[in-house]
């Protein structure tokens, strides 16, 4: 019996940019509640909320100053409870974003650093570890009290790393999970979870061995986390963000018996849009998984340039079909279901430290001609510019258009729910003519999917008896013989008779 997180798709909400209910230009939890029916109509099983906790917002919520309260700009705990109840009423699960590796420098634990020294990572002087983000540089900052020591920050100096080798830290972070589990949440996306295990000796990184992440203690740490989730039954999800060098590294985390249920594997966000590259990468990952480990797939999130901009318009529809027909859980990032592109940000409106504003621009809900310049996202001035394409690219217009990208996602996710082959069936890749730019695979007994990665027409070698179920272009007759040529950027789900 598959779990809910295996059968259904999971939709990422970046709360600042989803929907603004109070007109201050920043999305909020009541705004999310007001748009839940969009998710029901889309047909996802769950939503994952990027952080909405109290935060000075140096990294827009990934710098948490109180793990168990809501930032006023997003609402209140009561708003959260209302949202959770409304989601559950509609049969939607709710996954929170847990940020275990670092707090904000404004968190009371760091403020209390004189007494809680052991909760953070200190050294007399920096080693060679480097911080992430474009500004990079040493991952060490001077003790704000001038004690002469330096503290570790794998990201911004405003995000000091917790020391998970300190048992009190582990216990406190487990209690954060319990706080939300008791409120009824269905799981957690775990921010940079591979970083909560570091070499306690703080040794220098080596060519083939990082000492600042993915250390030997990792497996036991995950088992501890799983134990907390299992205090609340066996249905709560642990999905981890894993930026690791190889797919074999990612697979380890889901192959461990008490590891993650799902892993975000970023290999496919780094690949060129090529059928051969995807076939190679997918085959590699499927082969690395040991049953009952289950794959998950994502092609967008709030840290990456959107697929429509990264690879071009012709990739949008086949990507939708790929994500919804692979064996494994699809993750969508808000706006992906509209084919939204990165939004150009003029220099004076740049707010992110790492160039990620274009993919975080607000979601267009309705045409500006009807809803005003905020396009149904806000009645105020949006915190980031609205897409200039909002007249065509908005949820209301696309919902009314039987051939839109939104309609395609709805049809695909419905098909995936209905057809056992598509949510549960085995996958087998099918050979295609050399250099065809076509990725083709069989799902279960009866379904075959062929995707043209090229913007130009390409031939497909179908198995005998393949008939159209659904084309990405939403204009082929169901039941007709599967086409010998796919149009540029076309994909077809076919059924074998």
Note whether 299 and 310 are within 8 A (CB).
no
Q: From the CB of 57, what's the least distance to ligand NOJ, in Å?
A: 12
Closest to ligand NOJ by CB, 99 or 239: 99
Between 191 and 490, name the residue whose CB sits nearer to ligand NOJ.
Answer: 191
User: Coil, helix or strand for 34?
Assistant: helix
Q: Does 285 bind ligand NOJ (CB under 6 A)?
A: no
Work out how close the CB of 62 gets to ligand NOJ at its nearest, in angstroms, rounded to a whole number: 3
Which residue, 27 or 374, is less far from ligand NOJ as judged by CB?
Answer: 27
Hey, which residues between 183 and 202 contact ligand NOJ (CB under 6 A)?
191-192
Nearest approach in angstroms of CB 446 to ligand NOJ is: 38
Contact indicator for 417, 61 with CB cutoff of 8 Å:
no
Task: Using DSSP bridges, classify how beta strands 491-496 and 466-471 pair: parallel, antiparallel or unpaired.
Answer: antiparallel
Under DSSP, is residue 83 helix (H, G, I), strand (E, B) or coil?
Answer: helix
Catalytic residue list contains 357 = no
Catalytic residue among 161, 214, 241, 336: 241
Tracing tokens 């082969």 back to the chain, one arrives at: 287
- Cβ proximity to ligand NOJ, 192 vs 361, nearer residue: 192
Query: In angstroms, what is the minimal distance from the CB of 191 to ligand NOJ?
Result: 5
Give exposure, 466-490, as e/b (b: 16+ Cβ within 10 Å).
bbbbbbbeeebeeeeebbeebbebb
CB closer to ligand NOJ out of 46 and 436: 46
Q: How far is the CB of 15 from ligand NOJ (least distance, A)?
A: 13
401: helix, strand or coil: coil
Q: What's the token pair of residue 31?
A: 């705004």
CB nearer ligand NOJ, residue 240 or residue 295: 240
The owner of tokens 């809501």 is: 70
Contact with ligand NOJ (CB under 6 A) among 155, 164, 304, 383: 155
Q: Which single residue is written with the structure tokens 């906790």?
A: 53
For the bound state, the minimum distance from the C-beta of residue 469 to ligand NOJ, rounded and expressed in Å, comes to 35
Catalytic residue among 20, 63, 191, 421: 191
Alpha carbon separation from 336 to 301, 311, 489 (Å, rounded):
9, 13, 16
**Is 462 a residue that touches ligand NOJ (CB under 6 A)?**
no
3-state SS assignment for residue 454: coil
Task: Clarify whether 241 is annotated catalytic.
Answer: yes
What gap in Å lies between CA 383 and CA 488, rounded to an integer?
Answer: 37
> Cβ 343 to ligand NOJ, closest distance in Å?
17
- 13 vs 488: CA distance, rounded Å: 31
**Alpha carbons 462 and 496: distance in angstroms, whole number:** 10
- Contact between 16 and 26 (Cβ < 8 Å): yes
Shortest Cβ 312–ligand NOJ spacing (Å):
25
Q: Enumerate residues 57-96 that contact ligand NOJ by CB under 6 A.
A: 59, 62
Longest dimension (CA), the chain: 75
Residue 29, phi then psi, degrees to nearest 5: -65, -40
Q: Of the two residues 157 and 374, which places its CB atom closer to ligand NOJ in the complex?
A: 157
303 binding ligand NOJ? (CB under 6 A): yes
Nearest residue to ligand NOJ, using CB? 62
Question: What is the contact mask toward ligand NOJ in residues 225 to 254, using x (rule: CB under 6 A)?
Answer: ----------------x-------------
Smaller CB separation from ligand NOJ, 10 or 288 = 10
Count the residues of the shown chain that bind ligand NOJ, applying the rule CB under 6 A: 9
What is the b/e burial string over 43-57, where b = at least 16 CB atoms within 10 angstroms of the residue's CB?
Answer: bbbbbbbbbbbbbeb
Alpha-carbon dihedral angle through residues 369, 374, 377, 379, given to the nearest 10 degrees: -110
Name, in order, each residue with C-beta under 8 angstroms of 234's C-beta and a sequence gap of 6 or more. none
Catalytic residues: 191, 241
Binding site residues, ligand NOJ, CB under 6 A? 59, 62, 99, 155, 191-192, 241, 302-303
């Amino acid at each position: 019996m598959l779990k809910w997180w295996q059968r259904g798709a999971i939709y990422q909400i970046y709360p600042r940019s989803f929907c603004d209910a109070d007109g201050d230009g920043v999305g909020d939890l009541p705004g999310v509640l007001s748009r839940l029916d969009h998710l029901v109509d889309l047909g996802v099983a769950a939503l994952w909320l990027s952080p909405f906790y109290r935060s000075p917002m140096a990294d827009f919520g990934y710098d948490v100053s109180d793990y168990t309260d809501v930032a006023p700009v997003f609402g209140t705990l009561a708003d959260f409870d209302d949202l959770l109840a409304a989601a559950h009423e509609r049969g939607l699960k709710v996954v929170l974003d847990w940020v275990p590796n670092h707090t904000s420098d404004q968190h009371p634990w760091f403020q209390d650093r004189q007494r809680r020294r052991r909760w953070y990572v200190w050294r007399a002087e920096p080693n060679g570890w480097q911080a992430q983000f474009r500004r990079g540089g040493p991952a060490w900052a001077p003790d704000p009290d001038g004690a002469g020591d330096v503290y570790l920050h794998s990201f911004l100096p405003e995000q000091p790393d917790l020391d998970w080798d300190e048992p009190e830290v582990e216990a406190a972070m487990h209690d954060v999970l319990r706080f939300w589990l008791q409120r009824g949440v269905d799981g957690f996306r775990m921010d940079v979870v591979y970083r909560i295990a570091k070499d306690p000796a703080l040794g220098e990184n080596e060519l083939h061995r990082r000492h600042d992440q993915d250390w030997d203690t990792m497996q036991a740490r995950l088992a501890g986390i799983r134990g907390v989730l299992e205090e609340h039954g066996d249905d709560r999800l642990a999905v981890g963000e894993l930026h690791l060098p190889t797919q074999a590294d990612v697979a380890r985390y889901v192959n461990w018996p008490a590891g993650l249920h799902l892993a975000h594997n970023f290999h496919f966000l780094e690949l060129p849009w090529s059928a051969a590259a995807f076939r190679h990468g997918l085959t590699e990952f499927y082969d690395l998984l040991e049953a009952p480990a289950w794959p998950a797939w994502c092609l967008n999130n709030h840290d990456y340039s959107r697929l429509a901009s990264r690879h071009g318009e012709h990739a949008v529809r086949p990507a939708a079909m790929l994500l919804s027909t692979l064996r494994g859980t699809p993750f969508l990032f808000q706006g992906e279901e509209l084919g939204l592109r990165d939004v150009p940000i003029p220099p004076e409106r740049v707010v992110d430290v790492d160039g990620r504003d274009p993919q975080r621009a607000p979601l267009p809900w309705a045409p500006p001609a009807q809803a005003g310049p905020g396009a149904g996202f806000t009645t105020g001035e949006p915190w980031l510019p609205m897409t200039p394409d909002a007249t065509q690219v908005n949820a209301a217009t696309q919902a009314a258009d039987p051939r839109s990208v939104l309609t395609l996602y709805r049809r695909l996710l419905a098909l995936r729910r209905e057809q056992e082959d598509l949510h549960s069936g085995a996958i087998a890749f099918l050979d295609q003519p050399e250099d065809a730019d076509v990725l083709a695979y069989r799902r279960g007994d009866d379904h075959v999917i062929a995707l043209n990665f090229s913007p130009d027409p390409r031939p497909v070698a179908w198995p005998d008896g393949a008939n159209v179920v659904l084309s990405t272009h939403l204009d082929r007759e169901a039941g007709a013989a599967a086409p010998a040529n796919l149009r540029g950027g076309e994909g077809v789900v076919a059924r074998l008779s």
